[in-house]
A and B are shown apart, each in its own frame.
Chain A
Amino acid sequence: MAHVEQLVGSYRAWASNGASGAPDWLKDLREGGIARFHDLGFPNMKQEAWRFTSVAPIAEGSFELAKPPARVPTLDEIRPFLLLEAGLRLVFVDGFFQRSLSTPLFDDVQSLAHVVAHRPDLLRQHLGKYVVTQDRPFSALNTAFVSDGAFVHVPAKAAIPEPIQLLFLASGNTPAVTHPRNLIVVERETRASIVETYAALGDHGYWTNAVTEIVAGEGARLDYHRVQRESDRAYHVATTQSHQGRDSTLNLHFVAFGGKLARHDISSVMAGPGGTLVLNGLYLLAGQQHADHHTTIDHAADHCESHEYFNGVLDGKSRGVFTGRIIVRPGAQKTDSKQTNNNLLLSSDAHADSQPQLEIYADDVKCTHGSTVGPLDPRALFYLRSRGVGEDEARRLLTYGFAIEILGRMEVAPLRAQLDAIVRGRLAEQ
């Protein structure tokens, strides 16, 4: 527990020094966060939600709060991570907003720190109002250290045609921790698309502890994509919390390629009737990588539909964990919920755990779930070979199909192309 005390100590030092200029409401939010984290401490494997994932390397490690980068990378250095020339872009390095690498912005799409100073009322209305910290120590810790991240606000009836890219890069060589905090508010009858990427400029170890809150108003549609391509030595802990209103559509896409240890809690509340939610995820792991996706869909209103698809491709000694919890509240009648989790094991040392958890308290609902864990289907392999495709290529093609099934649901073509190239590259290494 020494490390809990160390983190609390580093919070105290930070709060009384660099962060002392914050408005009172924000200070209160942070204080609540650190108090909660102090109470909870790090999770352990005796807790149901952490049964398959040990965070000991984080809890026992030593991570300083990241400092501004000694040298800001050039645009050329970050180009491999950029999506397209058009569209708004916010770039953060080691958690600090980089105006020189970002596109010109306007009030509604800004760094969080800027919004704290300039539009606190809008922020205060939403920040920390959705993410759960009661039993989530990492979210609590992130809340304690809220200082910067991306802020996206789409005013009612507005549409932003080009995807907005939020890019978080790790540059440092010290084992530092960042706590990016993002808030995405799409008001009623809006249309927007966001790509949030976490990546490293080197292959060093560090810890990212990110939280993104997403709020969608009535009839809004948001396509949100989160790409995690941290370094192979990084620890990545994240929470994505969405809250959607009546008749809104959220398409939330998640891709996890990187990290030595990655844990992602995705929690979605369908608060108004007639909502549609898609959770579409891919984890592609090799070596000693461990990735744990813990998803919760809370059907709190009637006539909502949710579609959840997660595919895992596991090579080497990697391990993939998927938990798909679906809650259908009393009164959430006519809920239509579908969940699948398919895991492809490319090596006999790879391992996958898949656990659906359905909690249904309404009687007029349709809920289906299915999960598979196994190697490539020998029937499919023979089918391809019988058409003249060589064995190695057939294996690659089937594996690629497993990944592309998920990527194919993303509508942002340049992102799809970028991810497609990464997947092909990874398969070529095998």
Chain B
Amino acid sequence: MAKKKAVLEVKGLRVAVAGNEILKGVDLAISDGEVHAIMGPNGSGKSTLAQVLAGHPAYTVLAGTATYEGKDLLVLKPEERARAGVFLAFQYPVEIRGITNSYFLRSALNALRRERGEAELDPIDFLQFLEQKLKAIGWDDSMMNRPVNEGFSGGEKKRNEILQLAVLEPRLAILDETDSGLDIDALKTVAETVNKLRAPNRSFLIVTHYQRLLNYITPDVVHVLADGRIVRSGGPELAHELEAKGYDWLRDAAMVS
């Protein structure tokens, strides 16, 4: 079998925020179509990794590289990364006052289509396109005429992130604790949608604190991040081991290493 192409390759990545080094040398390679999970205790740097890959301006890269489709990801602006196919589902989705969900989604989709040299969708075409995506997450279009995330419950905000994922069809989807704050039904819906979106040309990096989500989305690789480093990688069984043993033993392991 031919070796699969790496979509994302992170090497020796060190990242600081407000002068504090959070990531202390992360190595990671995700191939086409793979689902990787990053687990770890609070403060281990999971969300930092997700945000820095999406280009959040608050983070400073101290050293290391991140190569996406063979190109330097870290020199790109956030919007350039998005247009190249990188998507971050936010841990804390932001409310956008006045802008309706459908207007927002269409603006985002058209920004991507322009990049790909495709014709922009007008509101009517877009609504048709949207209809099937909405069905997937169990929504009707009533959520589409409300301002983005405004007055949404925690679960609705997370579903909205997954809807955006479904609409924007990225090549690399990073899910930053999409499962936290979800009840079991919402969690299942989110997981089902993600599973439907799994494709040979789409990879996932799923950041989670809990093993729960991985009961529904089976990852190819599980990484454990502790104190800014990946201290262990393994198959799906690693997630179960973490669930059973907790994170404390890892912290000790990180200190020794």
Contact present for B82 and A385 (CB under 8 Å): yes
Contact digits for A396-419, partner B, Cβ 8 Å, 1 yes 0 no = 011011111100100000000000
**CA of A384 to CA of B79 in the docked complex: distance in angstroms?**
8
9 nearest CB pairs, A to B: A401-B98, A405-B98, A388-B82, A387-B108, A388-B111, A385-B78, A401-B99, A383-B94, A404-B98
Please indicate the chain B residues that have their CB under 8 angstroms from the CB of A379 in the complex.
94
Given contacts A383-B93, A387-B108, could you give 7 more A-B pairs where the C-beta distance is less than 8 Å? A383-B94, A384-B108, A389-B108, A397-B96, A404-B99, A405-B98, A408-B98
Tell me how far the C-beta of B177 lies from the nearest C-beta in chain A, rounded to whole angstroms.
16
User: Would you call the interface of chain A mostly helix, strand, loop, or mixed?
Assistant: helix
In the complex, which residues 148-169 of chain A have their Cβ closer than 8 Å to any Cβ of chain B?
Answer: none
Q: A401-B99, A405-B147 are in contact. Are A387 and B94 (CB under 8 A)?
A: no
Question: Which of A382, A384, A388, A389 counts the most B-chain CB atoms under 10 A from its CB?
Answer: A388
A108 within 8 A of B: no
25 residue pairs A–B, Cβ–Cβ below 8 Å: A378-B57, A382-B56, A382-B78, A382-B94, A384-B108, A385-B55, A385-B77, A385-B79, A387-B111, A388-B83, A388-B108, A389-B108, A390-B111, A391-B77, A393-B111, A394-B79, A397-B96, A398-B99, A400-B99, A401-B98, A401-B147, A402-B97, A402-B98, A404-B99, A405-B147
Interchain Cβ contacts within 8 Å, total number:
80
Query: How many residues from B make CB contacts under 8 Å with A?
Result: 29
A60 within 8 A of B: no
B112 within 8 A of A: yes
A386 contact from B82, B96, B99, B104, Cβ within 8 A: B82
Binding site for B on A (CB under 8 A): 342, 377-380, 382-391, 393-394, 397-398, 400-405, 408
B90 contact from A383, A388, A389, Cβ within 8 A: A383
Binding site for A on B (CB under 8 A): 54-57, 77-79, 81-83, 87-88, 90, 93-99, 104, 107-108, 111-112, 115, 147, 164, 168
A380 contact from B78, B83, B87, B94, Cβ within 8 A: B94
Contact present for A388 and B98 (CB under 8 Å): no
Q: Which residue of A lies closest to B82 (CB)?
A: A388
B79 contact from A342, A388, A402, A405, Cβ within 8 A: A388
